[in-house]
Structure 1
Amino acid sequence: MSQQEFTLQDLKRILLDGAGADESVDLDGDILDTDFEQLGYESLALLETGGRIEREYGVELHDEIFTDNPTPRALVAAVNAQLGRMASA
């Protein structure tokens, strides 16, 4: 698999496909540094999101990925770091 980049757009698409969106949250707004919990995504929705990222991008995410990276900006960076490690392996 060639190296891909995981973007905020990819994350938003996966969040919406897997868990939908809270009507009070605008995912098209400035959400990069907003905690997933504030965006309306609880642990079950995040588990589904993590599974979808793993399947689509062929990466293995550790169980603490969302607690260690509680915002979209941090998660996108963590997934891209994992993709980079895979490409250099």
Structure 2
Amino acid sequence: MTAKVFTLDDLKRTLLEAAGVAEGVDLNSDISDTEFEVLGYESLALLETGSLIEREYGISLDEEAVGEARTPRAFIDVVNAQLAPANAA
């Protein structure tokens, strides 16, 4: 069985579904280390994104860890930390 890994493309797709994209923001560029605030995403949008990810991947994300993730790279790390135990099973 192939292990699931959550990628930047997965996050971009989910952000678009959950909250759209702010005018003037290019999600097609490398946004890995750009703060969510700069990208136009507030905490509510990130919580909704987290909820969509939980449903799609069958995992439970720590709301505090999601809230502390300031960049896409940090958010992806939070998701992959939860996927790792599922991949080991």
In structure 2, the residue matched to 1:24 is 24
The answer (yes or no) to whether the contact 2:61–2:78 under 8 Å persists in 1 is no
Counterparts of 1:1-89 in structure 2, within 5 Å, are: 3-89=3-89
Moved over 6 A (4+): none
- Offset of 1:79 from its aligned partner? 0.9
Choose between structure 1 and 2: higher helix proportion. Answer: 2
RMSD: 1.6
Tell me the secondary structure at the aligned position of residue 64 of structure 1: helix
1:20-60 Cα distance to aligned partner (Å, 9 max, x none): 00011101112100111111001111111010010001110
Rounded Cα–Cα distance in structure 2 between residues aligned with 1:76 and 1:10 = 9
Rounded Cα–Cα distance in structure 2 between residues aligned with 1:64 and 1:31 = 22
Rounded Cα–Cα distance in structure 2 between residues aligned with 1:2 and 1:64 = 29
Aligned identity (percent) is 58
* Letter of the 2:61 counterpart: L
5+ residue gaps, structure 2, are none
Rounded Cα–Cα distance in structure 1 between residues aligned with 2:61 and 2:25 = 26
